[in-house]
Amino acid sequence: MTTYHTVQIDHLKIFYREAGDPTKPTMLLFHGFPSASHMFRDLMPLLADHFHLIAPDYPGFGQSSMPNHTDFTYTFTHLASVMTDFITHLQLTKFYLYVFDYGAPIGFHIATAHPDWIQGIVSQNGNVYQEGLGAKWATRQDFWDHPTAAKRASYRTAFAPETIKGQYLTGTPANSVSPDGYTLDIAYTQRPNYADNQLDLIFDYQNNIKAYPAFQRYLREFQPKLLAIWGKNDPSFIFPGAQAFTRDDPNATVQAVDSGHFALESHALSIAQAILRTFA
């Protein structure tokens, strides 16, 4: 059974899902863009017999508070700080970490600062390597290097319904993806302040790439048990990003599934089985 909760963290309402027995090892699930904790709706029941699962929505996402970007600094280090306070509030001192997309820099910021918290990592299309950046990132690099109001405005297309739907369907087997996930994500984009908040994060993403060497240094130094499981047809974070983990972490295992960016939508069972083989 999954239950649903909210807590006050740093004057914000943080929503989270919880499943499994709290006496079992905890796994903290960090979602990506433009989604929220509902992306784990199929995975959590498959793992609940083996793990205590907690999946929060970051500020500005899902059911958590969405302050205006003029009142809240939308950067990945700030989101990591709020999630650190969330972890501390729940008195989590040891946990496995599942990171996807935006969840990777948030999670790796936390792991780098608190390596003693981390029992193992699942990275599902959660990139921390230059080799994992698909072709679209060259255009973003130009935006970061030479920002203008027009370039910033052009990224509003990232929140268009067809763009979001494409993120879910590209690279997936035919008829394998339910409309539930992308329909809810599209609904969240209609909330006040959403676009400007998210545009701040798109601009800040450059600092995640600058932090890759620190994330890789963490992997070399602490060598956590790690499963890099990738939707191999993802055009955003390409499969070489999964393979690169083995360069720094001898305890990394790499596996591909025949899916795209949101691999849980079509391959939740395969991913759950791989997690159980690796960590349970």
CA 80 to the chain's CA centroid:
12
Read off the pLDDT of residues 7-42 as tens digits, 9 standing for 90 and up: 999 999 999 999 999 999 999 999 999 999 999 999
The closest of 24, 17, 14, 13 to 2, measured between CA atoms, is 17
Positive or negative torsion for Cα 72, 78, 30, 50: negative
Mean pLDDT of 233-240: 98
Q: Which CATH architecture has domain 2-279?
A: 3-Layer(aba) Sandwich (3.40)
pLDDT in tens, 109-148: 999 999 999 999 999 999 999 999 999 899 999 999 999 9
At 280, the pLDDT band (50, 70, 90 cuts) reads confident
- The Cα–Cα gap between 8 and 27 comes to 21
Q: What is the CA radius of gyration of the chain?
A: 17
Residue 55: what pLDDT? 99
In whole angstroms, give the CA distance from residue 174 to residue 155. Answer: 28
| Residue 160 neighbours by CB under 8 Å, 6+ apart | none
Q: Residue 106 and residue 77: Cα distance in Å, rounded?
A: 7
Q: Please, what is the average pLDDT of the chain?
A: 97
Q: Would the pLDDT of 159 be above 90? A: yes
Q: Are strands 2-9 and 12-19 parallel, antiparallel or unpaired?
A: antiparallel
- The torsion angles phi and psi of 236, rounded to 5 degrees, stand at -80, -55
Q: Strand 226-231 vs strand 118-124: parallel, antiparallel, or unpaired? A: parallel
Which residue has tokens 């739907």? 165
Residue spans of the domains in the chain: they are: 2-279
Per-residue model confidence (pLDDT) at position 91:
97
pLDDT at 114: 98
The pTM of the full predicted model, rounded to 2 decimals, is 0.97
Strand stretches in the chain, DSSP E: 2-9, 12-19, 26-30, 52-56, 95-99, 118-124, 226-231, 252-257
Q: Which residues are catalytic?
A: 261
